[in-house]
């Protein structure tokens, strides 16, 4: 039987383990054993480093994860499944406290648009780039290329 439609995840509060949602990296969540990939964005890989405004390396993959963790901390998290990828992850648009997490990752510079023509996402990425937020403060390798080179 194939699962289609709306997939809802709830985080009822930091102390409630009934529906635990946790960030795995800057563009992935796990909730009750289900793997969720944030649709339309690509965040730096956990081990990836980037260059800051001064040209010094920093752990941008860890920074992206920390930012996502902050977004979902103590918030109700709802993910709307759009499709499933080849790794059996739910490709979803997720919301924390009613705010689009995918867009917030782009807007704050901790992800790039990935295989999406969503105008809101493209505008959010451009805004982060223009204002040198997150990974846009310096030089970085697109996460997709980083994954290819690390194989």
Q: How confident is the model over 25-50, as pLDDT tens digits?
A: 999 999 888 999 999 999 999 999 99
Q: Check residue 9 and give its pLDDT.
A: 43
Phi and psi for 42 in degrees, rounded to 5? -140, 115
Regions of the chain where pLDDT drops below 70: 1-19
Structure tokens at 54: 């001064």
Sign of the C-alpha dihedral computed for residues 140, 142, 80 and 17 taken in this order: negative
Q: Check residue 69 and give its pLDDT.
A: 98
Residue labelled with tokens 């970085």: 140
List all residues 6 or more positions away from 134 whose beta carbon is below 8 Å from its beta carbon: 60, 63, 64, 67, 108, 109, 110, 128
Q: Which domains does the chain have, with CATH numbers?
A: 21-138 (2.40.50.90)
**pTM for this one?**
0.86
């Amino acid at each position: 039987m194939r699962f289609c439609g709306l997939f809802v995840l709830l985080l009822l509060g930091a102390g409630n383990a009934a529906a635990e949602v946790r960030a795995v990296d800057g563009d992935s969540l796990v909730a009750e054993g289900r793997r969720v990939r944030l649709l339309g964005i690509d965040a730096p890989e956990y081990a990836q480093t980037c260059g800051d405004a001064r040209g010094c390396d920093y752990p941008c993959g860890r920074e992206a994860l920390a930012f996502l963790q902050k977004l979902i901390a103590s918030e109700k998290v709802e993910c709307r499944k759009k499709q499933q990828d080849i790794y059996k992850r739910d490709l979803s648009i997720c919301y924390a406290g009613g705010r689009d997490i995918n867009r917030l990752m782009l807007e704050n510079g901790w992800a790039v648009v990935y295989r999406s023509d969503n105008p809101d996402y493209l505008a959010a990425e451009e805004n982060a780039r223009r204002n040198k937020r997150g990974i846009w403060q310096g030089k970085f390798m697109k996460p997709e290329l980083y994954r290819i080179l690390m194989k």
